[in-house]
Amino acid sequence: MIVRIVKLQFKKENISSFERIFDATKDKIRGFEGCSLLELYQDASDSTLFFTYSQWETEEHLEAYRNSDFFKDVWGRTKKLFADKPEAWSVQKVHSLN
């Protein structure tokens, strides 16, 4: 399993636009082959800072999504709203304390 974490900082005036894009596309992202989880977080002290957290069966599934026309369209609309360059990490679980 691959976990993808993306840090997104938006111009304050663009937050509602981003939230509309996310709300309109979240079900399709979540339904993309290989995606088992999609969550959106907002920083507790900086309302312009968001994080997406998604889980993918394999890195190939994530890359297929990232290379899709759907992703290119959504990302193209989203990146116009940024206040700063996004950051992204693909990580794998090393240990669980369950």
CATH number for the domain that contains residue 55: 3.30.70.100
Residue 58 in this model has a pLDDT that exceeds 90: yes
Please give the pLDDT value at position 39: 98
Q: Which helix (H) or strand (E) holds 65?
A: helix 59-66
Residue 50 lies in a domain: yes
Residue range 72-93: mean pLDDT, rounded: 97
**Overall domain count for the chain:** 1
Confidence of residue 20 (pLDDT cuts 50, 70, 90): very high
For the purposes of burial, counting CB atoms within 10 Å of the CB of 6, is it exposed (0-12), middle (13-18) or buried (19 or more)?
middle
Residue 18 lies in a domain: yes
Selection from 45, 61, 49 nearest residue 86 by Cα = 49
Residue range 42-50: mean pLDDT, rounded: 98
Residue 33 lies in a domain: yes
Residue 97 in this model has a pLDDT that exceeds 90: no
Residue 97 lies in a domain: no
**Cα radius of gyration (the chain):** 14
Residue 98 in this model has a pLDDT that exceeds 90: no
Domain encompassing residue 76: 2-91
Q: Whole-prediction pTM value?
A: 0.93
Confirm if 62 and 56 have CB atoms less than 8 A apart. yes
Q: How far is CA 91 from CA 37, 46, 48, 57, in A?
A: 14, 24, 24, 12
